[in-house]
Amino acid sequence: MFPGLPKHHLPSRCAVCHSWPRPQLCASCLERFAGARPRCARCALTRTQVGDAPCPDCRDWALEACHAAVDYAFPWNELLTAFKFQRQSGYSELFAGLLLRDAGVRALLGDLGSDDVLMPLPLSAQRLAERGFNQAWELARSLHRLSGCKAQLQTRLLLRTRHTLAQSQLDRAQRLANVRDAFLTEPLAPDCVRGRAVVLVDDVMTSGATLNAAAQSLLQAGAKGVQALVVARTPS
Ligand SMILES: [Zn+2]
Ligand SMILES: [Zn+2]
């Protein structure tokens, strides 16, 4: 496990190899652990070549597209775990920067207009209380700031109505059942996403069931389309 990232070590020490003086992620670690890989445009699973048709599993998803910076594997899994439990802006900037290396991510955020919405995937009230902050909020905020995107950063339009079990402990069928009806758009702002493009932000995509359930709620509320940005995708 990597120790935390003390603020005074940022940005002079690489978060992965700890060599210094280096940027937050040094060039050799980026090359070694974060090389660009072809991914399914819809579910972000790695594919053998760019432009492959969407995989059979994601053909019917509500989510239109998803970008992932890296696979959920060493060293990112350890850094993401540390991020989840420590509220440090250094982490969210590091991960936002990792996503923004991808020209597709920059184009997606750059194309959003001032009516469109960038929103973190919410936690349930119970999980938020346990953890004290939502890492997806921090990430969305850093992405919004570093990209200069014009979309509205909204953290209250999507509600997590039920406390769900941790997806990582469930199989596929259980995951789908676990998140069904878990999201609702803000009833006090009924037209909040109508006709708008929405980009959801989360740290990790496991099966995609949670992001898809959120996308479904947003489409039902009239969103024009829903895409997602995640730092890491669990490999198949
Ligand atoms: Zn390094
Ligand atoms: Zn796919």
The owner of tokens 């652990």 is 33
| Rounded distance from Cα 36 to ligand 1 centre (Å) | 17
* Smallest-distance ligand from the CA of 207: 2
| Rounded distance from Cα 229 to ligand 2 centre (Å) | 14
d(CA 159, CA 139) in angstroms, rounded, equals 18
Residue 98 is assigned to a structural domain of this protein:
yes
d(CA 177, CA 171) in angstroms, rounded, equals 10
pLDDT for 179-222, tens place per residue?
777 888 888 787 889 999 999 999 999 989 999 999 999 999 99
d(CA 54, CA 72) in angstroms, rounded, equals 20
Residue 228 is assigned to a structural domain of this protein:
yes
Predicted confidence at residue 114, as pLDDT, reads 96
The owner of tokens 């936690």 is 123
Residue 26 is assigned to a structural domain of this protein:
no
CATH of the domain at 130: 3.40.50
Mean pLDDT of 11-30: 83
Q: Count structural domains, the chain.
A: 1
Residue 7 is assigned to a structural domain of this protein:
no
| Rounded distance from Cα 47 to ligand 2 centre (Å) | 9
Residue 197 is assigned to a structural domain of this protein:
yes
| Rounded distance from Cα 39 to ligand 1 centre (Å) | 24
pLDDT for 119-129, tens place per residue?
999 988 888 88
d(CA 200, CA 105) in angstroms, rounded, equals 12
Residue 148 is assigned to a structural domain of this protein:
yes
Predicted confidence at residue 70, as pLDDT, reads 97
Residue pair 152/144 in contact by the 8 Å Cβ criterion:
no
Predicted confidence at residue 1, as pLDDT, reads 37
Residue 23 is assigned to a structural domain of this protein:
no
| Rounded distance from Cα 168 to ligand 1 centre (Å) | 28
Residue 6 is assigned to a structural domain of this protein:
no
> Residue 28 CA to chain centroid, in angstroms?
24
| Rounded distance from Cα 82 to ligand 1 centre (Å) | 17
d(CA 144, CA 166) in angstroms, rounded, equals 27
The parent domain of residue 53 ranges over 36-233
* Smallest-distance ligand from the CA of 75: 1
Q: Average model confidence (pLDDT) for the chain?
A: 87
Predicted confidence at residue 164, as pLDDT, reads 67
| Rounded distance from Cα 204 to ligand 1 centre (Å) | 22
Higher pLDDT, 50 or 200: 200
d(CA 68, CA 76) in angstroms, rounded, equals 12
